[in-house]
Amino acid sequence: MATYNDEGIVLRRIDYGEADRILTVLTRRHGKIGVIARAVRRPQSRLASRTDLFVRSNMQLARGRGELDVLTQAEPIASSPHASDPRRAACASLCAELTDRVLEDHHPDDEIYTLVADALVACADTSRDPRAAVVWFGRRMIDRLGYAPQLYDCAACGRRLGEQAARFSAEGGGLLCPQCAAHDPAAIECSVRVIKCLRVAASDDTSLWARLQLDPATLAVLERVTEAELAQHLDRRLRSFDVLRALETAPS
């Protein structure tokens, strides 16, 4: 069997047969691929920990006869430190679910690969709320998909928006002036602060985003806006948002 090497991140995995696992792996040079990891559920398997969710490794893969390539070796680059914290794990799952949902197989994209790898690292960064990573990642993916919302002019009538709170319409494609907002009951109220954060994310300025003070209330609105847009643009809702919300409201 022909083999090749690539760097990859495990986005999804399911147990298969007696001891195998089927993985969805985002690779840097081959895009998203299906991989079978044979016998990794046996206790003595060397590759078992390399098939954990969100682990990033240098992989050696063999071309399979069918849809799935075969994992033959893996040297970890980054582990998966999210597992011990359910909120961080849920945020990482959300990034992985979104990636899996929007990317087609075998379409490599180095920028998206880096975006996903960085998002998973950020979800594990204990100095920051992991939802900041989810919002950043979601907003960057929305832009990459070509759905960048209108954040400076009213998305309905085109009037310039003043420096004041406004409502965000996922269906309308951005912020609305007060007159237009009256016609969209689903539009989400956004403070001046939330609007500023949306604009920073749209500018793709990672260092400015890293310096923003994101309090829980601001993050909650940013997350709602991002979820509403993704629901608007993807066929199905992302289940990970429900998991995350259940964790946010559960007593700690």
What phi and psi values does residue 87 have, to the nearest 5 degrees? -70, -45
Name residues contacting Zn ion, limited to 172-201 (CB under 5 A): 177, 180
204 Rama sector, left if φ>0, alpha if ψ -120 to 50, beta otherwise = left
Q: CB 157 → Zn ion: shortest distance, Å? A: 3
| DSSP designation for 50 | G
DSSP 92-128: HHHHHHHHHHHPPBT---HHHHHHHHHHHHHHT-TTS
Closer to Zn ion by Cβ: residue 156 or 198:
156
157 binds Zn ion per the rule CB under 5 A: yes
Closer to Zn ion by Cβ: residue 92 or 176:
176
User: Residue 4 forms beta bridges with which residues?
Assistant: 61
Q: CB 153 → Zn ion: shortest distance, Å? A: 8
User: Which string of x and - marks every residue 81-120 that binds Zn ion (by CB under 5 A)?
Assistant: ----------------------------------------
> Binders of Zn ion: how many residues, by CB under 5 A?
5
Q: CB 233 → Zn ion: shortest distance, Å? A: 21
Q: CB 154 → Zn ion: shortest distance, Å? A: 3
Which helix (H) or strand (E) segment is 40 a member of? none
Which helix (H) or strand (E) segment is 36 a member of? strand 31-37
Q: Which residues bind Zn ion (CB under 5 A)?
A: 154, 156-157, 177, 180
